[in-house]
Amino acid sequence: MPPSCAGNSFIAVQCFTPIKDAVMIQTCRARQGFTVVELLVVITIIAILIALLLPAVQMARAAARRATCANNLKQIGIALHHYHGVHKRFPPAHIVDSRLIVREDFIHTGSELTAYWSWIVHTLPYLEQASLYERFELNYPAFWGAGPSLNNPNTSVKLPVLLCPEDPSSNKTTQKDCNGTPCEFAFTNYLGVAGTQGGSLVSWSNYRSDGMFPGTNRSVKLSHVTDGTSQTLFVGERPVGEYIFATGSGDFGWWAAGTGDEWPPVGRGDNILDSSAGLYAGQKDSFADVFHWWSYHTGGAGFLWVDGRVQFISNSIDHTLLRNVSSRNGGESDTAL
Predicted confidence (pLDDT) per residue in 310-334, tens digit: 999 999 999 999 999 999 999 987 7
CB neighbourhood size of 176 (10 A): 19
DSSP H or E segment with residue 300: strand 300-305
Separation in Å, CA 107 to CA 112, 144, 202, 273: 10, 22, 14, 21
Could you give the CA distance from residue 149 to residue 236 in angstroms, rounded to a whole number? 31
Pairing of strands 94-97, 233-237: unpaired
Could you give the CA distance from residue 91 to residue 260 in angstroms, rounded to a whole number? 13
Q: How do residues 203-222 score in pLDDT, each as one tens digit?
A: 444 456 789 988 777 789 99
CB-count burial class (<10 Å; 0-12, 13-18, 19+) for 298: exposed
Q: Which of 254, 94, 268 is nearest to 162 (CA)?
A: 254
- Over the chain (337 residues), what is each successive 10-residue block's mean pLDDT? 47 48 49 76 89 85 96 98 95 70 48 72 96 88 68 90 93 78 86 78 55 84 95 95 59 75 48 91 85 94 98 96 94 77
Q: Amino acid identity of 137?
A: E
- Residue ranges covered by each domain of the chain: 68-324
pTM of the model: 0.78
Could you give the CA distance from residue 234 to residue 184 in angstroms, rounded to a whole number? 27
